[in-house]
Structure formats: C-alpha cells, structure tokens
C-alpha cells in the first residue's frame, strides 16, 4: 500500500490520540508532520514528537491533514483548512466550523461513508455526543425510521480539553485534603457536580445551547432526513473520559427490545451490554479508551407510540473524535 504524508494540526487531547491511533492501526504513513502554534518537542505515549509551527507552507506535500481542534475552538481550520486543500491535502476537521457547510460532508464511516464520494477536499467530523448517539440510533433508523428522539447527555470533562481534565483532578484532590477548590475552566465547580450548560447560547433556538443544537442539525445531515425532531439537554459531569447519552426514541413502526438488540449487535462499532438483573449495562469506565460504543438499558418507552429507551456510552476522544477521523482517512485510502 502506498504510504501517505500525514499532518496532525494540534497536539492536545485529540491530537495526541490521533497520533496514537494512527500508530495502533498501522496507518500507511510516509512522513508524519505535527503542527501547532509554536515549535517544540512533545512526549506522546512515550514517543518524542517534534512539533512545527503552523503556517500555509507547512501543508505542502501532505496527502492528509487531520485538524484536531477542540470542540468549539475557532482558529486553525478556519485559517488553514481550505488553504491546506489548495496545497493538495485532504483535510479531515474535528472542529465545528464547517460541519453544516454544504460543500463539506459530515461523516461517521459506519453510517454514511457514501457521503465521502465526490468530496471537495474538506471533510468534517461530527460532534462527539452526536457520534456516540448516532452509532446506536442509525441502525434503528435504517430498520424503522426515526420520527423523534429526546436525548440527555452526560459528557466527560475531556471534551473540553486537557485543562478541564487537570481541573477535575485538582478539585478532587483539594476536596480530599479539605482545601478550597479552584474554579477556572468552567463557571462552577465540576467535581461532585453536574453542569447543564455546554456551549454558547443559540439565538435561533431560544433556551438551547450550541451543543444541544448540534444534536439536531448534525443528526439530520448525517442521516439525510430533515423531518427528524430532536430535543437535547447536554450536561457536563465529573467523569474524565466517555460521554453517556440517555435516549428516548419514537420510530415509524414498533420495534421490540429483542429486535433492537439484534440490530445493534450486528452494527459495526457497537457492543450491546444489556443485562440489568446482573448489573451489566454501559459504563463510562468501561467505554473509556475503547473504540466500541456501548448500548444497553434497551426497553419499551410506553409514553409514546413506537417508543424505545436506551443508554449509550462512548469514548469522546476516541470514537467521538480521533478514531472517527482516522477511520475516515482509512476509508479514503481504501477507495482511492
């Protein structure tokens, strides 16, 4: 297989995970070029990586550029994304800036890889909580078409980045020592708390945040169905890795829990853990640092016609970001 020159833009939590996943999955790399704001050496999983400053010329000669922007962060992909495309790279962007751009496919490879056909050089990763939820919902949609779903997310601090991981760790340690807890990353203490506020306010959706709006608009684009109705409440919880989502979904026809389990068990990238009497269900600790999305607590929702309830958990840094981007790159390599 021909080796490709690959760039990673950003070496925070997602960028470091991209590097690890490329190594773990034996991606055919010729040259690996890591870019960030400043030049330095970084230790990533025991490997010392030289980081080059990001500039337009840094994309010359790259076949694929993975932009690892933290959710909600503006900057690198806006400034350099299309410039990298002009210089010959295919850009896979983890940020939010181009997801709803009509020129840009929004892709979860297990669900809508066909959207990559005829791409214009820039491809977007969906939001992490959207990816986790749709890995479970897409198989149900294909079988019985989703009319509506309500989602409550329980999102880990790693979705905010390294600073939030450090803040949660330091707050827990300070609490154990009986010391005051310092609050900087979030507007409130995150340790031993739950914050129902992720993202900025949406002027066109009064009362909703940008994170909650993404669940609606990204779902419609990925599944290709603008009739799907979605209401989401997104909550930050004191968990280091893995987002959890409680979902109530209304389908166009009845689907029994048994049929749902069969559909989900056959879906790539999904693992069903659903044995309530024996305390077996998806856990953030079990999903952390793993590739599969876990689904359980599958049951009828008697409050609506053709309703199901389920609980879904996935690692937001892996499948919700870095792994999904690398899977897109792998698909491009296979279909060149």
Q: Which residues form the catalytic set? A: 128, 243
> Which contacts (CB < 8 Å, 24+ apart) does range 109-113 have?
109/324, 109/327, 109/328, 109/330, 109/331, 110/135, 110/138, 110/267, 110/268, 110/269, 110/327, 111/135, 111/138, 111/222, 111/223, 112/222, 112/223, 112/224, 113/331
Rounded to whole angstroms, what are the CA distances from 59 to 66, 238, 285, 312? Answer: 11, 38, 38, 38
Report the SS3 class of residue 118.
Answer: coil
Exposure letters 226-256 (e unless 16+ CB within 10 A, then b):
eebebebbbebbbbebbbbbbbbbbbeeebe
Report the SS3 class of residue 247.
Answer: strand
Report the SS3 class of residue 158.
Answer: helix
CA nearest neighbour of 49 among 59, 57, 39, 58: 39
Q: For Cα atoms 64, 289, 210, give the angle at the middle one, nearest 5 degrees.
A: 70
Q: How far apart are CA 310 and CA 278, in angstroms?
A: 17
Strands (E), the chain: 4-9, 29-36, 40-44, 47-53, 64-67, 90-93, 122-124, 146-155, 229-236, 243-251, 270-272, 293-300, 307-314
Rounded to whole angstroms, what are the CA distances from 280 to 277, 297, 305, 312? Answer: 8, 9, 28, 13
Determine the longest span between alpha carbons in the chain, in angstroms: 59
């Amino acid at each position: 297989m021909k080796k490709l020159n690959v760039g990673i833009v950003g070496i925070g939590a997602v960028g470091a995970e991209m590097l690890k996943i490329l190594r773990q999955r034996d991606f055919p790399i010729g040259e690996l070029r890591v870019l960030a704001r400043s030049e330095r050496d970084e230790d990533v999983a025991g490997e010392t990586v030289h980081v080059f400053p990001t500039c337009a010329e840094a994309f010359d000669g790259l076949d694929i550029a993975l932009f690892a922007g933290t959710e909600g962060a503006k900057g690198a992909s806006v400034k350099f994304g299309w410039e990298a495309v002009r210089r010959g790279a295919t850009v896979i962007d983890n940020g939010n800036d181009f997801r709803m751009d009509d020129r840009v496919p929004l892709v979860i490879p297990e669900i809508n890889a066909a959207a990559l056909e005829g791409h214009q050089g820039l491809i977007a990763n969906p939001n992490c909580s959207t990816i986790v939820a749709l890995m479970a919902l897409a198989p149900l949609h294909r079988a019985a078409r989703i009319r509506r779903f309500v989602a409550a997310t329980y999102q880990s601090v790693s979705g905010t980045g390294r600073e939030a991981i450090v803040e949660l760790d330091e707050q827990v340690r300070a609490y154990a020592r009986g010391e005051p807890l310092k609050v900087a990353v979030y507007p409130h203490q995150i340790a031993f708390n739950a914050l129902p506020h992720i993202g900025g306010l949406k002027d066109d959706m009064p009362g909703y945040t940008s994170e909650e709006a993404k669940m609606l608009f990204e779902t419609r684009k990925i599944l290709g169905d603008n009739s799907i109705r979605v209401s989401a409440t997104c909550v930050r919880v004191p968990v280091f890795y893995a987002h959890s989502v409680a979902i109530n979904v209304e389908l166009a026809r009845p689907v029994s829990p048994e049929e749902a389990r069969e559909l989900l068990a056959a879906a790539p990238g999904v693992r069903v853990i659903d044995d309530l009497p024996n305390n077996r269900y998806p856990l953030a600790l079990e999903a952390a640092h793993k590739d599969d999305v876990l689904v359980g607590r599958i049951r009828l929702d008697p409050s609506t016609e053709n309703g199901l309830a389920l609980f879904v958990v996935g690692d937001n840094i892996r499948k919700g970001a870095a792994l999904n981007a690398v899977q897109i790159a792998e698909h491009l390599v296979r279909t060149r």
